[in-house]
Amino acid sequence: MNDTHSLPRNETGIKTAVSILKQRFGERLQTGEAIREQHAHTTTWIANQPPDAVVFAETTEEVADVVKIAAEHRVPIIAFGTGTSLEGHVNAPAGGISVDVSRMDKVLAVHPEDLDAVVQPGVTRMALNEYLRDTGLFFPIDPGADASLGGMAATRASGTNAVRYGTMKDNVLSLEAVLPSGEILRTGRRAKKSSAGYDLTRLLVGSEGTLGIITELTLKLYGIPEAMSAARCTFSDVASACNAVIMTIQMGVPVARIELLDADCVAAVNGYSGLDLPVAPLLLLEFHGTNAGVAEQAATFGEIAEETGGTGFEWTANAEARTRLWQARHDAYWALRRVRPDATAVATDVCVPISHIAEAVTRASAKAAEMDLYSPILGHVGDGNFHCTLLINADDADERSRCEAFTAWLSELAIELEGTITGEHGIGQGKMTSLTKELPGALDVMRLIKHAVDPLNIMNPGKIFRPDE
C-alpha cells in the first residue's frame, strides 16, 4: 500500500545508537535478520519493514535509557509487544530500534477489593487471566489474539465483549510511560475516577507508540459472573439480525457479547466444523449475571428474536453446551482460512452507529461481490463494529489492487454512515490516508500534540500521520 513506503533514514545516528546500545545491553540487543523481520509487521499484506536492532528491555529504566540514547542520536524507537497488530504499527519505515517489552511480563499487584491490577506491558491478556484464576476476578477485553496489554492499550483494542465491558479506553485506570525525552510519566493514580487535569491516560491509550512507550498499566478487573448463558439464532437477512441487536441494546439487556456471522462465514464453519447451520446470517450471544439474570436475559432475547423473524433460537447456561453453541464463532477464522488455504488474510475493521450497521454490512458484501473479492463479514454488532476478512492472493497484483480499492471504499462508506474507519485496529500505516478524510481538523490538533510531546519525531514515525503531509 502506498502508505507503507520507506522513509529517509538517519544512517549515522542509527549506527551510533546501535553501537552504544550494544555496549549497554550485550546479548539483549539483537541485529540478526530473522529477529528483525519478526519484530516488524507480519500479520497481513502490509510489507515487512524491519528495525535495525531489537533491544529486549526488562525494566522501565532500561526503556528510558534506550529512549534517551535514541533521542540523542535522533533514531526512531518502535515499541513491540507480541506483534499481533493488524495495521503495520510495529514496522520501522525509517529504520531504528525496536524495544521489545515482552520480558516485562510481571503482574506487579492485584487489589481484589479495588478490582484492579498493576501489570507490566508485556503481560498478555491470557497470562493475566491465568494469573487471576484463583481470585474470582478477570480482565474482560478480548481482541482475539493473545496480545500484550501494553500493545492493547497503545492501539485502543477491544473485541467481542466490548459491548458490555467497554474498550481499553474504559479499562485502563492509569499508565506509566517513557516519554520521547526519556522522562518517565505517570498519568494518574488508582482512584476509579478523577478530574485532576487533562486525561493523559486516555491520550496515551490509542496513541500507537507515537507519544511514549507504555511501561506499566493499572487495569480494571471484574468479578467472574456467577453464571453465563449463551444463545444462537439465525435470520433471513442481515437487516433482521441487526434489528434484533438494536432492540436488545435498547431494552437494556446487559448482553456480554453479540456477534454476527454473515452467510459466507456460516458456510465456511459448516464445512470446517461439521455443523449444519442454515446458510444465513447468524447471531451468537453471551450473557453474564446471576443464574436467574442470565436465564431472564436469554429469554428476553428469545422474544426479540421471534419478533424480528429469527429462527432456530437456542440457549443454554451449561458450560459445555455454551462452547458448542459458540463453536461457529470460535472456529470462524480458521474456517475462513481453509476456504482459500494459500490466501493472505486482510482483516479490516470499521464501526458505524448501530442504526446504520445493516446498511453498512449489506453494501460491503455487495461491493465485495461486485469487485470479485471474497470478503466474509464478522461483526461485534452490539457496538456497530464489523470486520471484512478479505482472502486474497497477495501475489496477484490485480486482486491486490482491487482489495486496496475495497478497503479504501469501506472506510469511505463508514464515514458516509457517520462512522469511523477503525473501531479497534487503529491507524498504523494502513489507514493514514483514510484518517485525513475522517477527521481532517482533528488531525491538525493531533499533529500539534505530537510535535509538542515528540519534537524530534522519534516515537514510531510514519504511523497515524502521513509523513508527506
Q: Which positions from 337 through 366 interact with its own copies, judged by CB under 8 A?
A: 351-355
Q: How far is the CB of 264 from its own copies (least distance, A)?
A: 24
Q: How far is the CB of 58 from its own copies (least distance, A)?
A: 22
Footprint of its own copies on residues 383-422 (CB under 8 A)?
383-385, 414-415, 418-422
Interface with its own copies (CB under 8 A), residue from 37, 72, 170, 359: 170
Footprint of its own copies on residues 304-343 (CB under 8 A)?
none
Footprint of its own copies on residues 421-450 (CB under 8 A)?
421-427, 431, 435, 438-439, 441-446, 448-449
CA distance 193 to 214: 20
Judged by CB under 8 A, does residue 222 bind its own copies? yes
Q: How far is the CB of 198 from its own copies (least distance, A)?
A: 5
Stretch that binds its own copies, among 59-67, 162-170, 230-238, 303-311 (CB under 8 A): 162-170
Q: Which is nearer to its own copies, 119 or 343 (CB)?
A: 119
Stretch that binds its own copies, among 13-21, 263-271, 275-283, 284-292 (CB under 8 A): 284-292
Q: How far is the CB of 443 from its own copies (least distance, A)?
A: 7
The Cβ of residue 333 has, within 10 Å, a number of other Cβ atoms equal to 19
Footprint of its own copies on residues 104-143 (CB under 8 A)?
111-116
Judged by CB under 8 A, does residue 3 bind its own copies? no
Q: Which is nearer to its own copies, 124 or 158 (CB)?
A: 158
Q: How far is the CB of 397 from its own copies (least distance, A)?
A: 29
Judged by CB under 8 A, does residue 225 bind its own copies? yes
Judged by CB under 8 A, does residue 250 bind its own copies? yes
Q: Which is nearer to its own copies, 296 or 412 (CB)?
A: 296
Give a three-class secondary structure readout of the chain: CHHHCCCCCCHHHHHHHHHHHHHHHHHHEECCHHHHHHCCCCCCCCCCCCCCEEEECCCHHHHHHHHHHHHHCCCCEEEECCCCCCCCCCCCCCCCEEEECCCCCCEEEEECCCCEEEECCCCEHHHHHHHCHHHCEECCCCCCCCCEHHHHHHCCCCCCCHHHHCCHHHHEEEEEEECCCCCEEECCCCCCCCCCCCCHHHHHCCCCCCCCEEEEEEEECEECCCEEEEEEEECCCHHHHHHHHHHHHHCCCCEEEEEEECHHHHHHHHHHHCCCCCCCCEEEEEEEECHHHHHHHHHHHHHHHHHCCCEEEEEECCHHHHHHHCHHHHCHHHHHHHHCCCCEEEEEEEECCHHHHHHHHHHHHHHHHHCCCCCCEEEEHHHCEEEEEEEECCCCHHHHHHHHHHHHHHHHHHHHCCCECCCCCCCCCCCHHHHHHHCHHHHHHHHHHHHHHCCCCCECCCCCCCCCC
Judged by CB under 8 A, does residue 466 bind its own copies? no
For its own copies, how many residues bind (rule: CB under 8 A)? 91
Interface with its own copies (CB under 8 A), residue from 19, 290, 311, 318: 290
Q: Which is nearer to its own copies, 376 or 384 (CB)?
A: 384
Q: Compose the 177-206 pattern: x for residues touching its own copies by CB under 8 A, - for all others.
A: --x---xxxxxxxxxxxxxxxxxx-xx-xx
Interface with its own copies (CB under 8 A), residue from 162, 213, 230, 325: 162
Q: How far is the CB of 334 from its own copies (least distance, A)?
A: 25
Judged by CB under 8 A, does residue 158 bind its own copies? yes
